[in-house]
A = this chain, B = another copy of it.
Amino acid sequence: MRIGMVGYAFMGAAHSQAWRTVNRVYDLPAYARMTAICGRDESKVAEAAARLGWDGHTTDWRSLVDRDDIDVIDVCTPGDSHAEIAIAALAAGKHVLCEKPLANTVDEARAMAAAAAEARSVGVRSMCGFNYRRVPAIALMRQLVADGRIGEIRHVRATYLQDWLVDPTVPLAWRLQKDKAGSGALGDIGAHIIDATEFVTGQRIASVSGLIETFVKERPLPGEASGLAAKSLALVDGSAPATGPVTVDDAALFTARLDGGAVGSYEATRFATGRKNGLRIEINGSLGSVAFDFERMNELEFYDAARPTSEQGFSRILVTEPDHPYMSAWWPAGHLIGYEHSFTHQARDFLEAVATGVDPTPSFDDALHVQLVLEAVERSAATGAWIAVDSALTAVNA
């Protein structure tokens, strides 16, 4: 399976590590060959190809899509180019793995889902890169829910807390510009907890009441624009750096009703001082609860209300046993895995699905639904009203 990847920054590095590792660890019906990457800057993309281990490189994504010796297009660019690249790739018969959020607008996402449906009919596969589904503890959470161990779900409590924008001198990178990123914390990290909770519960968010805030409204213009921590332009003459307006949200909160009867609380922010990657999910049901924090990603807390009262408590499961999802291929119990492993697991599932002719999940339809929730939150925040998630989708496909 010959891969062509577009983009080589943060996500590009993570995906490269996954493609490079996946066949070293898992026995799979397909072998990932790192054929070529694409980026706008010739010398940088050449350097990235050499460093990350790709056979070739190009500055023209269309040429990548057109190559005969490429089977998969892996889209790791900012959200504003997802639709164009993914649709072209699907049309060219390439399987597509597209980073999240699927697109910057619902219209784009709808077009992508339509393209994916058409491609699917001729055996071309597509998948959106909500990598947190492949964290073993989150997969185990879903398993416990699916096995009925949590019972009827009452509460979903999800936050994604970061703090890298607390400092007002952090520059205005592409992630802070609406035209490039679509939205701020909402789409970047809020999308993850929307998808992850829908994945875990098997329920979909049906209506929301949202609140959106931008705490720091002007920031210095950046010197270079890739990665999470782009450096600001240092002016030689000591004058204040030029600034520009932040056009996305710093924080987004919403309450929700899910279609299976649960109520939910969601919060995504880049202003939670001290929380570095606090993707936390707690699910309370009639028979038990599960709780997860990505800052302790190898652990799952499970409360089983069926145990004797005097022994009940949240169990800290170290999700490193061979019979935990994805873990048989790694190290002995108690030897942790890291962030990047979720991408290796994603690569595994993608390769396996494509090689065996199965549609991988999350599908573009699933990702479109996330996009609809994001839009509903923004509309609710703008109007102050509860908004039903507008959806023609009829089933939770996850």
Contacts and interface: CB of A to CB of B under 8 A. Distances in A.
Contacts of A333: 164, 276-277
Contacts of A154: 166, 215, 251, 269, 271-273
Contact of A320 (B162, B272, B276, B286): B276
Given A229-B332, A331-B339, A385-B385, A274 B289 contact: yes
Interface stretch (A55-63, A107-115, A240-248, A303-311): A303-311
Given A155-B251, A162-B334, A211-B209, A285 B257 contact: no
Given A20-B20, A305-B166, A263 B251 contact: yes
A80 interface: no
Contacts of A323: 309-310
A311 B317 contact: yes
A325 to B, nearest CB: 9
Interface of A: 10, 14, 16-17, 20-21, 23-24, 51-53, 140, 154-155, 157, 159, 161-164, 166, 209-211, 213, 215, 228-229, 251, 253-255, 257, 263, 265, 267, 269, 271-278, 282, 284-289, 294-305, 309-318, 320-324, 331-341, 384-386
A332 B282 CA distance: 23
Given A24-B17, A251-B263, A276 B209 contact: no
A273 B306 CA distance: 11
A138 B272 CA distance: 19
Contacts of A301: 313
A140 B308 CA distance: 13
B267 A265 contact: yes
B318 A313 contact: yes
Q: How many monomers of this protein are in the complex?
A: 4
A267 B256 CA distance: 12
Nearest to A300: B313
Nearest to A318: B276
Given A155-B271, A209-B384, A255 B257 contact: no
Closest 5 CB pairs of A and B: A276-B334, A277-B334, A274-B303, A338-B338, A313-B317
A397 to B, nearest CB: 26
A311 to B, nearest CB: 6
A16 B23 CA distance: 13
Contact of A302 (B157, B253, B313, B337): B313
A233 B323 CA distance: 21
Nearest to A325: B310
Given A10-B332, A296-B296, A284 B289 contact: no
B313 A315 contact: yes
Contacts of A275: 284, 289, 334
B318 A315 contact: no
- The interface centre, meaning the residue of A269, A271, A276 with most chain B CB atoms within 10 A of its CB, is A276
Contacts of A302: 311, 313
Contacts of A278: 334
Contacts of A339: 331, 335-337
A7 to B, nearest CB: 16
A376 B304 CA distance: 36
A330 B323 CA distance: 28
A338 B286 CA distance: 29
Given A155-B251, A302-B313, A336-B338, 17 more contacts: A154-B269, A210-B255, A211-B255, A211-B263, A228-B332, A251-B263, A253-B265, A274-B288, A275-B334, A276-B320, A277-B335, A300-B313, A309-B323, A310-B317, A310-B321, A310-B323, A313-B318
